[in-house]
Amino acid sequence: MLSLRNLDKQYKTGDRALKSISLEVPKGQVMALIGPSGAGKSTLIRCVNRLVEPTSGSVRLGDMELTSLGAGGLRRARRRMGMIFQEYALVERLTVMENVQSGRLGYVGFWRSFLRRYPQSDVDEAFRLLERVGLDDMVDKRADELSGGQRQRVGIARALIQDPDLLLVDEPTASLDPKTSRQIMRLICELCEERELAAIINIHDVMLAQMFAQRIVGLQLGEIVYDGPPDGLSAEVLTQIYGEEDWEATIRKADDDEPPSSVSHGPRGVRREEDVLSGI
């Protein structure tokens, strides 16, 4: 699905953020990318959709090479990659519907988007998605009137209405409380399973990553130092990624409330729908 080959990024300041990264993400896989601040997590996902231009190396989505695309080709390729952001990055003065519809900008013409005359099929899809994330009665609210959890749900709907093959998720829970964080992660993983989306999720919270991802990649100073199943994160591995610290409390025990191996594929700990929708 997504394949990175010897991806390198050197910023103008001379910092080498990514050092020859090679990575395969198959269809339907939810991969968590962990690592300390400055390890290059954000740079890595931004090099995929070229919000940051990689210095060298190759990025392939399916059988399309992304690094050599011109402006028009890049815009078409970006439609296939939905992005979810830290701090939501909604356009605050626009309504929920306008924010969701901005995910369709790559598909509709300028005048339609300028006059907000969205195609009916897009409006239908937006209502369906907003219902799915539990916000169908908030359509005309302005984005800055919503709570953090609600905003991130709008962010998710905006990414999904693009009908992407891949989700790039940058610290989706960084400004959310622990319960909302879990709900958001669960929602993202459920949606990935429903639509067989591949996802790269940058996340600081190691426990959340272990809870929801099928695969963990640890990044340190621009290099992959761990790539394996969530259970493989031992104290030694975490020390290698983050440095010396007492990791005992962070490592998820096998006998926790949600058994890690009970679900063979897809997100772990899928719960009842009411729980997802409650307390937003």
CA distance 225 to 35: 9
Q: Residue 127 Cβ, how far from other proteins at the closest point, in Å?
A: 19
Encoded tokens for 13: 């300041």
Kindly tell me which of 64 and 235 has the beta carbon lying closer to other proteins: 64
Alpha-carbon gap, residue 76 to 111, rounded angstroms: 18
> Are the C-beta atoms of residues 6 and 22 closer than 8 Å to each other?
yes
The residue (of 154 and 238) whose beta carbon lies closer to other proteins is 154
CB of 238 to other proteins, least distance (A): 29
Question: Residue 211 has which token pair?
Answer: 């809870």
Between CA 128 and CA 70 the distance in angstroms is: 33
Q: Least distance (Å) from other proteins to the CB of residue 46?
A: 9
Alpha helices in the chain (DSSP H): 41-48, 71-78, 96-101, 110-115, 120-132, 148-160, 178-195, 206-212, 235-242, 273-277
Minimum distance, C-beta of residue 106 to other proteins, in the bound complex (Å): 3
Least separation in angstroms between residue 92's CB and other proteins is 7
* Minimum CB distance to other proteins smaller for 151 or for 268: 151
Measured from the CB atom, is 25 or 154 closer to other proteins?
A: 154
User: Residues interacting with other proteins, by CB under 8 A?
Assistant: 49, 51, 74-79, 81, 83, 85-87, 89-94, 98, 102-107, 110, 113-114, 155, 158, 162, 168
* Residue 52: strand pairing partners: none
Q: How far is CA 124 from CA 80, 100, 120, 128, 158, in A?
A: 20, 12, 6, 6, 14
Is the CB of 87 or the CB of 193 nearer to other proteins? 87
For other proteins, which is the closer residue by CB, 134 or 155?
A: 155
**Pairwise CA distance, residues 118 & 163, whole Å:** 16
From the CB of 242, what's the least distance to other proteins, in Å? 26
